Structure 1
Amino acid sequence: MHRAVSLQILLLLLCGGHVHSEDECIKASVATCDACIKSGPGCVWCQDLNFTKRGELEAVRCDTKSEILKRGCPVSMIIDPDSTLHKIRDKPLSVGKTPVQIQPQEIRLELRPGQPYTFDFTFKRADGYPVDLYYLMDLSYSMNDDLKNVKNLGIGLLNSLKRITGYARIGFGSFVDKTLLPFTDTNEEKLQKPCPREETECEPAFGYKHVLSLTDDGKNFEEMVSQQRISGNLDTPEGSLDAIMQAVTCVNKIGWGNSTRLLVLATDAGFHMAGDGKLAGILEPNQEACQLDDKNMYIKSNLWDYPSVGQIARKLEEQNIQPIFAVTETVADVYRELSKLIPKSEVGVLSNDSSNVVNLIVEAYNKLSSNIIVTHDNLPEDIAVTYKDCGGQKEHSDKGTCNNVNIGKEVTFSVTVKALKCIDEKTFNIGPLGFNEKLTVRVKTRCECECDNELNDKHKHCNKQGSVVCGTCSCNSGFLGQRCECSLGQKDEAALKAQCRKDNSTECEGRGDCECGVCKCHLTEAGNSYYGPHCECDDEHCEKYQNKLCGGNGDCKCGECKCKDGFEGAACHCKKSKDGCITTSGSECHGRGKCMCNQCICERGYKGPKCGSCPSCSLPCQKFGSCIECLGFGSGPFQKNCTGSCVNISHTIEEKLPKSDCRVKDHEGCWMSFTMTEQDGFDKYNVKILKTRECPEGPNVAAIVGGSLAGVALIGLLILLLIKALIYVKDLKEWKRFEKEQQRRKWADGENPLFQKATTTVANPTFTGDS
């Protein structure tokens, strides 16, 4: 089944058709068919009059085809513009004086934005296609022996090329380096003769000189080259890139024709590149322009810096010139690295005196011409192109390749073009590198609906106050609403306008007009439409990464990036991967966070690369005390439903514990000891419970009573002793005070001199003395 489907898709591609997979339609508050079609390649519009209910937003007409069909829209009422191809020039492949090697030659694509369209591009190498070869030689002194052989090169090289192509032309140019220190000795005598003293023939120092334009006269080539003399400079690297830039940009001077264009660079040294000119005080960058004087000398050699490798690669591709680097063994690796940066280039190793140069050029030409690379030039913004190799196996974003293509063999490439958004007509070219023939591709987008409109301005569906356009009402002047049911100046206009305010804010967020309680949104600065029930959304203000909206890896929808498959992040800035979030147990972030951009974003205070620890967290010993009592000892408040109440705990009963993380009392007052090890997730633990509890002994009544009575008696005795002691102390103080007062009475033993005893005695006559 899968193979059959794959075969059908492959047949569609080979036939120039397209594969349209239904993408999701980002639902937005779009009120027109055109706005719906612009929302995405998966969006379709239902123009059925009765599809929406009275008062329902017209935006429900816009959705994926499957959803629209589910809601009851007839297939004939669905608007879904499709991408199409129109061939403008489609001459058959042919040979002859003006061969046709590509087919088609010009097409027009009408594309639904976001919907890729695939077509076939065919190429066939024509037998006898002309070749232009420009020989660019290093004339520094180390190339003296090579120049002698090159002087006899012309006729042999032309004959070799003509045996392959039937028609060939050759030209010649030479170079050394900039005539400034530190590249060349600027002493006047040395500028005139930079060669060693013993050398009798020497060319004054120069940068680049065009000697002979392309010609099919081999003798003329040999005559002109034979007049060349060796020159010289100071440092080892030469001004090769300066010379290549002039040979490429001076198209008329060189005489490049409608042919396979080859540029042979023969040298035994490396090359200076952009930035090296600063050593000589040259600050102006290379301007990529032809600057030859009347004598065909490069006049900006000492004013412009050397070009960069990127500039050289771009100009070679623009002019369809294929370089062959004929270099000595000592610098072959340098030019092999350079060749990797320049499409359609080859490196050949020269013998010490360049005697093998003809064979080298022929071999390099055969390699270049048998390897076909198809690519585009100056791709417009908002258009994407991908290629499949001629075998249909690999897909590339910048080129399609086909190797070992013999003359007369026809090869086909699959080319897929996609417009990223609605655009005006734009043009670009596709073609094989090294050939002038190009396919012109004109691209325009289908962003407008072609509906069965009923232009009667008194249509019954619109309350006889408007006409029908794509299933919706276009109201006459003075009327508003989904069915033109509102007229300007209605008494409840204030209430209708209130419906256009989100949370009592500005009407339609200041981005639209409120009509009959519905926001009709304005266009953004970029020409797109705001959308949403209150025009709160646009697709231009999402996060950027590397100055690209949504990192170039997603679509901006209502201020949020909707990432393409394989990307994630707020700006779709990273490839989706979970390798850095998976723990040794196979869980993601230990179940305590989310994996984003291959990193864990932890929750609830957890930290670490994979949310493995929580520095601020402590073991919830007391929280799980009732579960421990019920699981370990079958008692407590959870004993009736122990398993259901303690689902987050896995436990074992242990005779001994090497350590005890927790010590908690149960409802009987006994101490329970256990350890807790956290599992993945939140509040999940492995618990080891000590088999025995520590419970307090029962009370001793006799001891308590006896102890209590003895205590009371002891306290009473102590109180009596204390009172006795206080009384004794008080009496002792009184006695001492009395003794002190007695000692102070010294006059008690003396007699008062003023005192006289009584002198009268009275006797009772009746007293007899008897008692």
Structure 2
Amino acid sequence: MELCLPFLLLLLMGINGLCQQEEVCSKSVINSCRDCIRSGPYCVWCKQLNFTKAGEQEAARCDTRAQLIERGCKLDEIISPKNNLTIVKEDSLSPPFNQQEPVQLSPQKISLKLRPGLSTTFNVSFKRSQGYPVDLYYLMDLSYSMKDDLENVKELGQDLFAALKKFTEHAQIGFGAFVDKTVLPYTNTNEKKLQKPCDENYQQCQAAFGYRHVLSMTPTEEKFKKKVTEQSISGNLDSPEGSLDAMMQAAVCGDKIGWRNSSTRLIVLTTDAGFHMAGDGKLAGILEPNDEHCHMENNLYTKSTEMDYPSVGQLAVQLTKNNIQPIFAVTQNVEMVYKQLQQMIPNSEVGVLSKNSDNVVKLIQDAYQNLSSKVILTHDNLPDNVRVVYTPKCDHAGPAMGSEGVCDKVGAGEMISFEVTVTVDSCMENKSFTIRPLGIKDTLTVTLSTNCECECEDPKSSNHPHCKGKGRVSCGICSCSGGFVGQFCECSIGDKDEHSLRASCRRHNGTECEGQGDCVCGRCQCHTTESGSSYHGDFCECDDEHCEKSHNKLCGGNGKCNCGKCECFQGYEGSACQCRTSIEGCRTPNSTVCYGRGTCTCNQCECNEGYQRPWCHECLGCPDPCQTKLNCIECLGFDSGPFKKNCSAACSKSIYHEMVDQLPIPSKWCKQKDTEGCWINFKLDQLVGEDNYKAEILKQRDCPEPPSVTAIIGGSIASVAVIGILLLMLIKLLIYMKDLKAFREFENEKKRSKWAEADNPLFQNATTTVENPTFTGE
């Protein structure tokens, strides 16, 4: 442990392997040595007799080597299968090419027998044979826009051969041409236009075609020049061409092109336009996908109008499969298009042609040097649950890619090597895969099998005393004869007194074996689940099928399900092992993790209650620290308040403070009244953690002035006078209201009074009435 301490900082930065990795055995269903060995790379089995206690599960025999030794298991009683590596074929690397099949990769065959989860590493050496043959297939776009370039290519033969002979005396060159599919909307299908698709004034024009193979591989310069001179320009309608169609046929029609078995194979594609790809054929009603097979008759691609263009992925697979390295010699206007294509096709190069292609020889020469100086070691399709990592051992190692190793700037005849680490994650039948340098024929075949069985030298006796004479010993545990069960075959199935035995099979006096097993001789024998695995645990309470899923995989495929909980492989975390272990997303601007107020899970902060993501900086709903820390501020700054007697113990650990003279007070400062009635101004900054603050306290408190006696007496007299006046006014108001009420009652009584009507007894009516006859009444 002491040796690891100097490297602690590097470990925190993600550099693994400086300290020995902790060995952990994640046990699940363990009923035998075989189950133990399959549980993990560090699980071993103790076969020592009487290692387990009476009634103890045999799963106790399965643990790490250190744990078993600590519990008393002897070293020679521990079963732990090892990795086995056998080199089946290892021919020496060849000297410069001498007409024989050269050996550039060693070894050629390896047999591995691996324990699941336990990696093994071996070395692979590579040395490019000097003077190794080169086959170059010149594939040219003959659309009308390339007419000037064709004239230069016709004079290219001598210079091409001269350039290739700088690298090898065994060079061959072939030639092919392409335009596009001869259907609408790619080509004018008018009969006259099909025969002469070029400009009417241009006489040297050949009929429209998709892809034509012109010249098979030849070492003769005159043949190349003669065939190319016979070529003439053609034409089509749209700008993209059928480049991928042509490259696919050149790759898969090896016998027609003339590729040699032992050679560096190059396709030089020259064009000034982009390319059609899979799916574009639908524009012409061509729906049949490209089948990646050769369809050449009379040197013409016969399925051009019946089969869609290949996808970039299909082309990349066939180029790799046939060890062909493409060089895209293109004009500047489409350079970026082919740069992107280069990223998807391994071991390819892009160069920019001049306007009339007069620099194509130098371009090919530079591209070949780049390709031949870069060695990329990779593999074909791996079996399931197999991982391969490459570590280049060279002066100019490329960036770590995992699925491939890269060495750059490798000179001719220079030997380099790679460390290849192979890991198998689960038991499997015999499988194999191939490792190869891209663009090179040499391969390393790796035959792979797994070591998942226990090899125990057990006694032959079927009535071993350890098993009470009722069974035999198998890797330290008893395999009982028929009719007997138990750890030492001590129980007969016919035993009548089962009450105490069955009680030991109930957890918390619940269901016997949780309803998922049988109680046999006081121990639970668990049933299998619907999927064929087994329940496990002392009471069959566990299964390994009901863990959380991620991406529709149990534990995300990055861990093991054990008793309903995911146990993640190294480098993964989360409830479903769905996240790679990292804390970069949890790092705060001050380089802490979640400000100490949460935990980093799945590269995100899981904040304590109230604190908010992304970094648990602020707390919503938390008590105002201006109020909760007031008593501490008062005792720390002014030696007063409830915490005066134990201020250091109550406050010093959570608040670091300093007194300041700052004026005026910023609006964000706290302003609180202390127990003496004074206003305290202070600022609180929360540091890392929940109860950890830095306080700046203003030295001067704002306390109220003492009371004035004169003002108090004067105020008291004035108050009594005012109260007396108010009482008199209130009494006057009450008397007035009483009088008003009595007056209203009098008025109401007056209105209700009635006067009697009667004749005056002294009054006598007149006896005679005289009227004036002249009186008119006016």
Scaled by the length of structure 2, the TM-score of the pair is: 0.78
Contact kept? 1:455, 1:469, Cα under 8 Å: no
* Cα distance in 2, alignment partners of residues 224 and 612 from structure 1: 76
1:238 alignment counterpart: 241
Residue aligned with 1:347, SS: strand
Q: Choose the corresponding residue for 1:480, options 480, 485, 490.
A: 485
Contact 2:586–2:615 (CA under 8 A) maintained in structure 1? yes
Aligned residue number for residue 316 of structure 1:
319
Name the SS of the counterpart of 1:35 in structure 2. helix
Structure 1 distance, partners of 2:198, 2:598, is 74
- Range that drifts further, 165-174 or 61-70: 165-174
Match of 1:289 in 2: 293
Against the structure 1 CA distance between its residues 335 and 641, is the aligned structure 2 distance closer, same or farther, given a 3 Å change threshold? closer
Residue from 408, 420, 426 that aligns with 1:415: 420
Quote the residue 1:430 is aligned against.
Answer: 435
Deviates more, 1:488-497 or 1:27-36: 488-497
Whether the aligned pair in 2 keeps the contact of 1:671 and 1:695 (CA below 8 Å) is: no
**1:639, 1:124 → 2: CA distance?**
82
Matched, 1:261 2:234: no
Cα offset for 1:576?
A: 3.9
Q: Which is further off, 638-647 or 94-103?
A: 638-647
The answer as to whether partners of 1:22 and 1:41 remain within 8 angstroms in 2 is no
1:50 corresponds to = 50
> Cα distance, 1:431 vs. partner?
1.0
Contact 1:176 1:207 in 2 (8 A): yes
Asked if 2 retains the 8 angstrom alpha-carbon contact of 1:653 and 1:691, the reply is no
State whether residues 627 and 642 of structure 1, in contact with CA within 8 Å, keep that contact through their aligned partners in structure 2: yes
Aligned pair partner of 1:299 in 283, 292, 302: 302
Partner of 1:461: 466
In structure 2, distance between residues paired with 1:660 and 1:361: 75
| CA drift at 1:232 | 0.2
Matched, 1:447 2:447: no
Task: Out of 216-225 and 37-46, give the one that drifted further.
Answer: 216-225
Contact 1:388 1:396 in 2 (8 A): no
Deviations 1:653-705 (A, max 9, x none): 9999978765687xxxx7676678474545666786997989999xxxxx9xx
The amino acid of 2:454's aligned partner reads C
Post-superposition Cα deviations, 1:500-521, rounded to whole Å, max 9, x if no partner, equal 4555666555665544343445
* Range with bigger deviation, 374-383 or 246-255: 246-255
| Deviation larger for 440-449 or 458-467 | 458-467
2:120 is the alignment partner of 1:113: no
Once residues 320 and 648 of structure 1 are traced to their aligned partners in structure 2, the CA distance between those partners, rounded to angstroms, is 69
- The answer (yes or no) to whether the contact 2:140–2:269 under 8 Å persists in 1 is yes
SS at match of 1:60: helix
C-alpha distance after superposition, 1:351-371 (max 9, x if no partner): 444444444434433332232
C-alpha distance in 2 between matches for 1:129 and 1:527: 56
Is 1:325 paired with 2:339?
Answer: no
Report deviation, 1:644: 4.0
CA apart distance, 1:553: 4.7
Specify whether residues 267 and 26 from structure 1 end up closer, same or farther in structure 2 by C-alpha distance, changes over 3 A only.
same
Deviation at 1:176, TM superposition (A): 0.2
Contact 1:104 1:122 in 2 (8 A): yes
Instruction: Give the drift of 1:637.
Output: 8.0
Deviation of 1:623 (Å): 7.7
Does the CA contact (< 8 Å) of 1:238 and 1:271 recur in 2? yes
| Structure 1 residue 404 corresponds to structure 2 residue 412 | no
Deviation at 1:229, TM superposition (A): 2.6
Q: 1 CA distance for matches of 2:637 and 2:685?
A: 18
Report the 3-state secondary structure (helix = DSSP H, G, I; strand = E; otherwise coil) of the residue aligned with 2:167. helix
Describe the shift of the 1:695–1:507 C-alpha distance in structure 2 as closer, same or farther (beyond 3 A).
Answer: farther
Question: Which secondary structure does the structure 2 equivalent of 1:594 belong to?
Answer: strand
Instruction: Give 1:611's aligned residue.
Output: 616
- Aligned position for 2:65: 65
Please tell me whether the aligned partners of residues 621 and 663 of structure 1 are also in contact (alpha carbons under 8 angstroms): no
595-604 or 500-509: bigger deviation: 500-509
- Structure 1: tracts of 5 or more residues without a match: 7-18, 698-702, 737-771
Structure 1 SS opposite 2:50: helix
- The 1-side partners of 2:21 and 2:633 are apart by 57
Q: Is the 8 A contact 1:89 1:105 kept in 2?
A: yes
> 350, 353, 366: which one pairs with 1:347?
350
Aligned to 1:372: 375
Whether 1:93 and 2:96 are equivalent positions in the alignment is no
- Give the Cα separation in 1 of the matches to 2:322 and 2:473: 55
Q: Secondary structure at the match of 2:67?
A: helix
1:67 to partner: Cα distance = 1.7
336, 341, 350: which one aligns with 2:339: 336
Counterparts of 1:272-283 in structure 2, within 5 Å, are 272-283=276-287
Q: Tell me the distance in 1 between the aligned counterparts of 2:631 and 2:578.
A: 48
1:270 corresponds to which residue? 274
Distance 2:318 2:153 in 1: 27
Q: Residues of 2 paired with 1:510 and 1:278: CA distance?
A: 60
Q: Does 1:572 align with 2:574?
A: no
SS of the residue 1:323 aligns to? strand
Q: 1:166 aligns with which of 165, 169, 186?
A: 169
RMSD of aligned residue pairs (Cα, Å): 4.3
CA contact (8 A) 1:630 1:642 kept: yes
State the Cα distance separating 1:109 from its structure 2 match.
Answer: 0.4
Deviations 1:42-96 (A, max 9, x none): 2222111132222222222222222222222222111121111112222222354
- More deviation, 406-415/523-532: 523-532
Q: Call closer, same or farther: CA 1:577–1:358 in 2, change over 3 Å.
A: closer
Instruction: State the AA in 1 paired with 2:444.
Output: L
Tell me which residue corresponds to 1:758.
none
Q: Percent identity?
A: 53
Q: Counterpart of 1:104?
A: 107
1:434-490 deviations in whole A, cap 9, x for unaligned?
A: 122211101111111112222322112222222111111111122222222222132
Seen in structure 2, the aligned counterparts of structure 1 residues 525 and 422 have a Cα distance that, compared at 3 Å, is farther
Name the CA shift for 1:334/1:584 in 2 (closer, same or farther; >3 Å): closer
> What is the CA–CA distance in structure 1 between the aligned matches of 2:660 and 2:329, rounded to whole Å?
83
Matches within 5 A, 1:379-394: 379-391=382-394
Match of 1:251 in 2: 254
Counterpart in 2 of 1:761? none
Number of residue pairs matched? Answer: 698
User: 1:349 Cα shift?
Assistant: 3.6
| Alignment partners' CA distance in 2, 1:649 and 1:350 | 71
Match of 1:592? 597
Aligned to 2:566: 561
Amino acid in the other structure paired with 2:73: C
Work out the CA distance in 2 between the residues paired with 1:178 and 1:161: 33
Q: CA deviation at 1:559?
A: 3.6
Query: Would the aligned equivalents of 2:325 and 2:347 in 1 still touch at CA under 8 Å?
Result: yes
Q: 1:654 to 1:441 in 2, by over 3 A?
A: closer
C-alpha displacement of 1:20: 9.0
Judged with a 3 Å threshold, the aligned counterparts in structure 2 of structure 1 residues 693 and 483 are, in CA distance, closer, same or farther, namely: farther
Q: Cα deviations across residues 390-444 of structure 1 (Å, max 9, x unaligned)?
A: 3286643111122333333322211111001111111100011112221110111
- 5+ residue gaps, structure 2: 8-18, 708-712, 747-778
- 1:175 corresponds, among 173, 178, 190, to 178
Q: Determine if contact 2:634/2:674 at 8 Å carries over to the other structure.
A: no
8 Å CA contact 2:559, 2:567 repeated in 1:
yes
Shift of 1:116: 1.0
Contact 1:521 1:531 in 2 (8 A): yes
Larger displacement relative to structure 2 (596-605 or 678-687): 678-687
The DSSP-based 3-state class of the residue aligned with 2:301 is: coil
**Structure 2: distance between partners of 1:20 and 1:85:** 23
Change (3 A) 1:240 1:2: farther
